[in-house]
A and B are shown apart, each in its own frame.
Chain A
């Protein structure tokens, strides 16, 4: 078990190193002079030189890479070209809305999706099953921003139940905070619900065929216990895997959702940086989001051991 954990930690480090190489190379593999592109079309040659100096683009590539890595390892993600503030600080200021949105979505989506998937598998072939699966195919196909605008139109503009957009910090009260999160979390969660519900249904269908389920039913276990204790726990590994993989979906979705609902989070920071060609911000946020994704998947892999004791002894 210990060797499994160490092995996983080691491969996580390698993946992070590869992410670092890619993120670093992005700037240098692109055609043309990166300093000129970042400076924009109307830049003077002094401005371009200034940016080149600021980013240290004159040094040989390996030197630049080592310098960049040593900064990143110390938590220095560079300085924003536009606002001259450290990228890490800018990200830190925007963290609360993004974490609020991501965690709310994750929690609600997993609960709804697993419930849907279990019910669909249990009632396989019935109208409820068909309906839930149609919802999941459709949910997976409608883009986050289209869902977002439909929700805004119906619930904010037409019915006037919820605010159109914006964000209220949690310090100003739980309800104002939640009011602003309901629509974005629903929009963002739809595709995620669809993804998890489909896998849950498929795995549960397989597990429900197993002999021990028949035994459990035969000995008179209630449906609820049978589904939740006997079946769902044995369907755990693929479901948890897809929750981990789906985090990528969630991260990309956060960037779009924050734009639709005008939430001042990390995603908004990147989108604003695109227009200003503030490359250090884009680079820093990619690195942070990729790191989050890798760490979540490490945690997912380690929870397998709790769900499936067989993995411990491999």
Chain B
């Protein structure tokens, strides 16, 4: 990306606009660059790496070299290929959990923020749900089923929903007192339209920020669950599974743990940076303070 910015062929005005954007939003840009890089690796994994499942006992626990960029694990599998394929699972889980929990939480939050009676029941239920540590709830849900990617996604989504509902509910409670909402009610706007056209837009900026934090936490929880043996089945290469499988070889082959571990940390860091960057941009109160 920095090459593009410094490209002399670029018109002067456009280039300076780019530079200003980068200078004003360093975290957002840094996060997007790292995340974009990881997404590309995940997408083109089949073309740039070997078979992540192929076992070559002769090549077991080989350190990183030209042939095996990240070395091999205790079964002689290519750690680079497994790390690249692992990015697919992590990014997929992060994205799907963020979309699902924001979608479901938005609907529940709008309804419970607007209808007092729904609110009384929903709030109590969510308080209870929030009191259960997310990883333990997910462990219980996964250990009661046969496992698989969709179950893991569901098990991570459920504990995230209350956070979204609380956020949306709070915004709805303040927005519904605004004059423009009263005006809309006075002119006879019906409730569904009122919620969608007049109240929903003010929930979006904080929701977008929240969605990125949920994405980061979902990636972390998926890796943790797989690491604990309560996540994605071990035959699918994920970063958590790779670390769990190489646990006993930390002293002899640290690359089998640190390569997926650093990839995981990098992706979570990037998503958190995007979240921080979006928050700084979208929160007008903060923006004033920054200047």
A residues near B, CB below 8 A?
11, 14-19, 21-23, 26-27, 30-32, 34, 37-38, 137-138, 140-146, 149-150, 152-153, 157, 248, 251-252, 255-256, 259, 270-271, 273-275, 277, 279, 282-283, 285-286, 289-290, 293-294, 297
Contacts and interface: CB of A to CB of B under 8 A. Distances in A.
Contacts of A259: 227-228
A15 B132 CA distance: 10
B133 interface: yes
Contact of A290 (B132, B135, B146, B220): B132
Interface of B: 124-125, 127-129, 131-137, 139-141, 143-146, 216, 220, 223-224, 227-230, 243, 250-251, 254, 257-258, 261-262, 264-265, 268-269, 272-273, 276
Given A18-B124, A26-B144, A277-B143, 5 more contacts: A14-B128, A15-B131, A30-B141, A31-B145, A142-B265
Contacts of A255: 135-136, 139, 228
Contact of A152 (B124, B227, B250, B272): B250
Interface residue SS majority, chain A = helix
Given A282-B139, A289-B133, A149 B124 contact: no
B131 A252 contact: no
Nearest to B135: A252
A275 B229 contact: yes
Contact of A23 (B132, B230, B261, B264): B132
Counting chain B CB atoms within 10 Å of each CB, which of A141, A270, A274 scores highest?
A: A141
A22 B127 CA distance: 11
Contacts of A275: 229
Counting chain B CB atoms within 10 Å of each CB, which of A17, A140, A146, A294 scores highest?
A: A146
A277 B147 CA distance: 12
Given A143-B223, A282-B139, A293 B133 contact: yes
Given A15-B128, A21-B128, A143-B264, A274 B133 contact: no
A152 B127 CA distance: 38
Contacts of B261: 143, 145-146, 149-150
16 contacts: A18-B129, A22-B137, A26-B144, A34-B144, A141-B268, A143-B223, A146-B264, A157-B251, A256-B227, A274-B229, A274-B230, A279-B144, A282-B140, A285-B136, A289-B133, A290-B131
A271 B135 CA distance: 11
B132 A19 contact: yes
A294 B144 contact: no
Contact of A32 (B125, B135, B145): B145
B289 to A, nearest CB: 9
Contacts of B230: 271, 274
Given A146-B261, A149-B257, A277-B143, A252 B229 contact: no
A153 B262 CA distance: 14
A34 B139 CA distance: 15
Contacts of B220: 143
Contact of B124 (A14, A137, A144, A283): A14
A56 B147 CA distance: 25
A36 to B, nearest CB: 11
A137 B129 contact: no
A251 B133 contact: yes
Given A143-B265, A157-B250, A270 B136 contact: yes
Contacts of A153: 250-251, 254, 258
Contact of B139 (A19, A37, A274): A274
A271 to B, nearest CB: 5
A201 to B, nearest CB: 13
B129 to A, nearest CB: 6
Contacts of B216: 141
Given A138-B269, A282-B139, A274 B132 contact: no
B247 to A, nearest CB: 8
A283 B140 contact: yes
Contacts of A14: 124, 127-128
A227 B133 CA distance: 34
A286 B140 contact: yes
